[in-house]
Amino acid sequence: MIARYGRAGSVGQVVGGRRASFMWREVGRYMHMALTHTRWLIGDGRSIDVMEDPWVDALPLRLWPTMISDEETVGLRVYDLFRPGEAGWDEDRLGQLFGEHLAERVRALPVPGSAGPDVRVWSTTCTASVRVGDVSRVIQQESELGRDCGWVWRFGLHQRVALFLWKVAWDRLPTSLVLSRRGVSIPPLCPSCETEESTDHVLFQCVWAQSAWRLSGLPEAAWRRRDYFLEEVRGWSGSHQMRSVAIRASCIVYQIWLARNARVFGEPSLSPRFVMERARAQAAEILQAGPDHRPLTAQDIWGSHAALAASHTARHIYREANGAADWVASYVANHSGSTLWVGVDDLPGAFRDLLFADSAGCIRTRVV
């Protein structure tokens, strides 16, 4: 066995001689990467170290950028956070050790009614059995140099639509499934279909979303899945003749997401036809914007009410109250590399002014 598989070394390492199995060495090579995507499912809590083991998320608490009482948590087990003799969290202990937000995350974790052994599970499925496909996806993601999403910012979308499309490309939307995996106490299911609400599902596979897409007139192959959609939009955006189609498709997917949010937060439900009309109007607004009102140049879009009245004959007036977010989207679109601002004084003046104005509830007006 040693000759074929080698001796077990440290995690992620296989020590073997000249005849050790190549496949076994490859398994060992990715073992550490796979382990970083697992976490502990709480049983009796006796085998889980509070600081060193991943149990709230796939990241151990010692690596979290949060306030934790280090001295009191050294060597502490999750079992010590339970109320003595009861299957529940010790609220006083949580308040002493953790900050408010981390304590809330811990409270949201299910506590088993009957004591049993702690189990290491895959972080995305919360099951002890791991499929080859799960590990394969992790290895693929880790091996990717990064997606080329620069095209999202280059074909004239409004900043909010472009930022949304960028989140879709990176699968970073806060869907119910994502929030549930992060410890938020909500069901991970789509309220319309009773299936897991992933980005693919909420935008393209939900019954409601599909009824909206069928009214769009776009080919079904373009909106069947997220990767197909992004590939089609990218192709359209590179063609002068098809740019309007790319903008319309981007506005449709954005309005589908906004309509989903309205349903989730208890606002009146919008019909698919109404959502299509809103997307059409938004796309028309972007396409009709002149050179002085390019959507990717936030500082050239917004103006004072007095200047608006004096120098423009408005066809449409759009009121916006979140200029800071638009400024950030524009900055990301026009800059490469990394930027770190550690205090208010480090912020660019235009961005700081927008932040203060948004906090004060100021409304900017854009003319098209």
Q: What is the pLDDT of residues 351-367, one digit of tens each?
A: 777 776 666 555 554 44
Identify which of 173, 204, 167, 164 has the alpha carbon closest to the alpha carbon of residue 295. 164
**Is 22 part of a structural domain of the chain?**
no
Length of the chain: 368
Same domain membership, residue 163 and residue 263: yes
Looking at the structure, tell me whether residues 178 and 262 fall in a common domain: yes
Q: Answer yes or no: do 181 and 302 share one domain.
A: no
Percentage of the chain modeled with pLDDT above 90 = 22
* Separation CA 336–CA 311 (nearest Å): 35
Residues 152 and 224 in one domain: yes
Tell me the C-alpha to C-alpha distance, in Å, between residue 230 and each of 162, 222, 247: 12, 8, 12
Cα 353 to Cα 278, 297, 299, 350, distances in angstroms: 31, 16, 11, 5
Residue 13 lies in a domain: no
Cβ-count burial 37-76 (b if 16+ within 10 Å, e if not): bbbbbbbbbebbbbeebbbbeeebbeebeeebeeeebeeb
Extract the runs of DSSP E, i.e. beta strands, from the chain.
7-8, 14-15, 38-41, 119-122, 317-320, 364-367
Q: Which whole number is the average pLDDT over 189-210?
A: 91
- One domain, residues 164 and 135: no
> Per the domain annotation, does 23 fall within a domain?
no
Can you give the pLDDT at residue 165?
94
- Domain count within the chain: 3
Give domain status of residue 274, yes or no. Answer: yes
**Mean per-residue pLDDT over the chain, rounded:** 75
Is 145's pLDDT higher than 60? no
Q: Please, what is the end-to-end C-alpha distance for the chain in angstroms?
A: 74
Instruction: Answer whether residue 25 shows pLDDT above 80.
Output: no
186 and 263 within one domain: yes
Please answer whether residues 246 and 155 qualify as being in contact, where contact means their C-beta atoms are separated by less than 8 angstroms. Answer: yes
pLDDT tens-digit readout, 267-324 = 888 899 999 999 999 999 888 875 554 444 332 233 333 333 333 333 333 444 566 7
* 63 close to 47: Cβ distance less than 8 angstroms: no
Question: What is the pTM (predicted TM-score) of this model?
Answer: 0.49
- State whether 265 and 336 are in the same domain: no
Render pLDDT for 48-80 as a digit per residue (tens, 0 to 9).
888 888 888 777 887 776 556 667 777 888 888
Share of the chain above pLDDT 70, in %: 68
User: What is the mean pLDDT of the segment spanning 191-196?
Assistant: 87
**Listed range (24-28, 54-58, 175-179) with the worst mean pLDDT:** 24-28
The residue from 266, 288, 310 where one domain ends is: 288
Domain that holds residue 217: 147-288
